[in-house]
Amino acid sequence: MKIILLGAPGAGKGSQAAIITEKYGIPHISTGDVLRANIKQGTELGKFAKEYLDKGELVPDEVVVDIVANRIKEEDCKKGFLLDGFPRTIEQAKALDKLTEIDIVINIVVDFDLIIDRITGRRMCACGATYHITTYSSDTCKACGGKLYQRKDDTVETVANRLEVYNKQTAPLIEYYKNKGILKDVNGSISIQATFEQVQKLLE
């Protein structure tokens, strides 16, 4: 089962990816996670990517395609995988077509105003836990007691820019995969579990 998750930043791709990969036993491949890990480690790739991400812009196609091409060759991808955050452009989609055949593209649909509220209210912990100021008011992590922080790219200005970039470069993928007959929309404005129930029906 080879799946792509589409949706604007903050649409809930990460939450759905975690549930899907656990239930169906396939790896979750997030190019964003790979790039952030490289940034944290201070690698050459990380330094290169950081210049783009700090401005809310996309990392060049050839870099991201290489990351994905190498990852899907690994042993744990033999039964399938879930791609989250890739492809982001038509060029990346065409490059992916040359690498493998995708079974289904799930497009998580959420209103942009709701996305801005979701992302700007998000608070993170170094342990990986994530909270939102509307449901958790403390600045201390429940899981480990660490100090919560807001990612530098979670400001209104950067989020608005990311959504604009998404509209220009990534939204055309919806039409691309619709024409291939493998795109399915789900409503991401509701709860995580209710969204997953829609996804599950599509996968089964």
122 carries an active-site annotation:
yes
CA distances from 61 to 78, 101, 114, 190 (A): 24, 19, 28, 32
Told to judge if 162 belongs to the known catalytic residues of this protein, a careful annotator would answer: yes
**Backbone region of residue 107 per phi and psi (left: phi > 0; alpha: psi in -120 to 50; beta: other values):** beta
Catalytic residue among 2, 71, 123, 162: 162
Mean pLDDT, residues 181-186 taken together: 96
104-107-108-114 Cα dihedral, nearest 10 degrees: 170
Active-site option among 2, 13, 118, 123: 13
pLDDT tens column, 81-100: 999 888 988 999 999 999 99
Task: Provide the 8-state DSSP code for 146.
Answer: P
Tell me, what's the pLDDT at 62?
Answer: 83
Walk me through the domains of the chain, giving residue ranges and CATH numbers.
2-110+158-203 (3.40.50.300)
In this prediction the pTM is: 0.77
Distance CA 137, CA 167 (A): 32
Task: Dump pLDDT digits (tens) for 6-24.
Answer: 988 889 888 899 999 999 9
Distance set, CA 24 to CA 28, 48, 72, 175 (Å): 11, 34, 17, 27
